[in-house]
A and B are shown apart, each in its own frame.
Chain A
Amino acid sequence: MSDVVLETRGLVKHFKTRAGAVRAVDGVDLQLRRGETLGVVGESGCGKSTLAKLLVGLEKPSGGEIRVRGDNMARLRGSSLRRARRNIQMVMQDPYTSLNPRMTVGDIIGEPYDIHPDAVPQHGKQRAVQELLDLVGLNPDHINRYPHQFSGGQRQRIGIARALALRPEIIVCDEPVSALDVSIQAQVINLLEGLQRRLGLSYVFIAHDLSVVRHISDRVAVMYLGKIVEYGNQVAIYDQPTHPYTQALLSAVPVPDPRLRGRRDHIMLSGDVPSPADPPSGCRFRTRCWKAQPGCAEHEPLLQIRERSPHPSACHFAEIRDVMRRF
Chain B
Amino acid sequence: MTDITAQMDAVPGIDPRAPLLDVRDLRVEFRTREGVARAVNGVTLRLHPGETLAVLGESGCGKSVTAQAIMGILDTPPAHVTGGQVLYRGVDLLRLPENDRRKVRANRIAMIFQDALSALNPVYTVGFQLGELFRVHRGMSRGDAKRRAVELLDQVRIPDAKRRVNDYPHEFSGGMRQRVMIAMALALDPEVLIADEPTTALDVTVQAQIMGLLAELQRERNMGLMLITHDMGVVADVADRIAVMYAGQVVEEAPVYDIYARPAHAYTKALLESIPRLDLKGRQLNVIRGLPPALTDIPRGCAFHPRCAYAREICGIEPPPAYQIAPQRIASCHFVREVLGV
Enumerate chain A interface residues (CB-CB to B < 8 A).
Answer: 43-44, 151, 153, 181-187, 189-190, 208-212, 214-216, 234, 238, 248-261, 266, 268-269, 272-273, 324
Contact = CB atoms under 8 A, between A and B. Distances in A.
Nearest to A245: B205
Given A43-B204, A208-B204, A254-B237, 15 more contacts: A44-B203, A183-B58, A184-B291, A185-B274, A186-B285, A190-B285, A211-B277, A211-B278, A254-B234, A255-B278, A256-B236, A256-B260, A269-B205, A269-B209, A324-B279
B82 interface: no
Contacts of A238: 278, 281
Given A183-B271, A211-B276, A259 B235 contact: no
Interface of B: 58-59, 173-176, 203-209, 212, 230-237, 239, 256-257, 260-261, 270-272, 274-279, 281, 283-288, 291-292
Contact of A272 (B206, B207, B283, B287): B206
A273 B205 CA distance: 10
Given A183-B288, A261-B237, A272-B176, A215 B205 contact: no
Given A181-B59, A272-B176, A211 B203 contact: no
Contacts of A256: 232-233, 235-236, 260, 272, 275, 277
B233 A252 contact: no
Contacts of B287: 183, 186-187, 190
Contacts of B285: 186, 189-190, 215
A47 to B, nearest CB: 14
A182 B236 CA distance: 15
Contact of B233 (A214, A255, A268, A273): A255
Contacts of A210: 204, 278
Contact of A186 (B256, B274, B281): B274
B230 A258 contact: no
Contact of B275 (A186, A258, A266): A186
A186 B271 CA distance: 10
A45 to B, nearest CB: 9
Contacts of A268: 208-209, 212
26 contacts: A43-B206, A44-B203, A182-B271, A183-B270, A183-B292, A185-B274, A186-B276, A186-B287, A186-B288, A189-B276, A209-B276, A211-B233, A212-B276, A214-B276, A215-B281, A248-B205, A253-B204, A254-B231, A254-B236, A256-B260, A256-B272, A256-B277, A259-B257, A259-B260, A260-B279, A272-B206
A261 B173 CA distance: 28
Contact of B257 (A253, A255, A258, A272): A258
A182 B232 contact: yes
A209 B239 CA distance: 21
Contact of B278 (A184, A253, A272): A253
Nearest to B175: A272
Given A43-B204, A259-B257, A151 B236 contact: no
Nearest to A154: B291
Given A181-B292, A184-B291, A255-B233, A234 B260 contact: no
A272 B208 CA distance: 12
Main secondary structure of the interface of A (DSSP, over half): helix
Contacts of B59: 181
A252 B274 contact: no
B260 A181 contact: no
Identify the interface centre among A44, A185, A255: most chain B CB within 10 Å of its CB.
Answer: A255
Contacts of B239: 258
A251 B208 CA distance: 9
Nearest to A153: B291
Nearest to B259: A258
A259 to B, nearest CB: 7
Nearest to A325: B279
A183 B281 contact: no
A182 B230 contact: yes
A182 B274 CA distance: 7
A107 to B, nearest CB: 24
Contacts of A183: 58, 270-271, 274, 287-288, 292
A250 B203 CA distance: 12
Contacts of A249: 204-205
Contacts of A234: 281
Contacts of B279: 255, 257, 260, 324
B275 A255 contact: no
Contact of B256 (A208, A214, A254, A258): A258
B284 to A, nearest CB: 8
B229 to A, nearest CB: 10
B30 to A, nearest CB: 19
Contacts of A153: 291
A282 B283 CA distance: 40
Contacts of A324: 278-279
Contact of A252 (B208, B231, B288): B208
A41 B301 CA distance: 43
A52 B257 CA distance: 40
Contact of A182 (B173, B261, B275, B281): B275
A215 B276 CA distance: 6
Contacts of A184: 291
B236 A257 contact: yes
Nearest to A210: B278
A238 B276 CA distance: 14
B276 A254 contact: no
Nearest to A191: B287
Contacts of B205: 43, 248-249, 252, 269
B230 to A, nearest CB: 6
Contacts of B257: 258-259
Contacts of A208: 203-204
Nearest to A271: B159
Contacts of B203: 43-44, 208, 273
B277 A261 contact: no
Contacts of A259: 257, 260-261
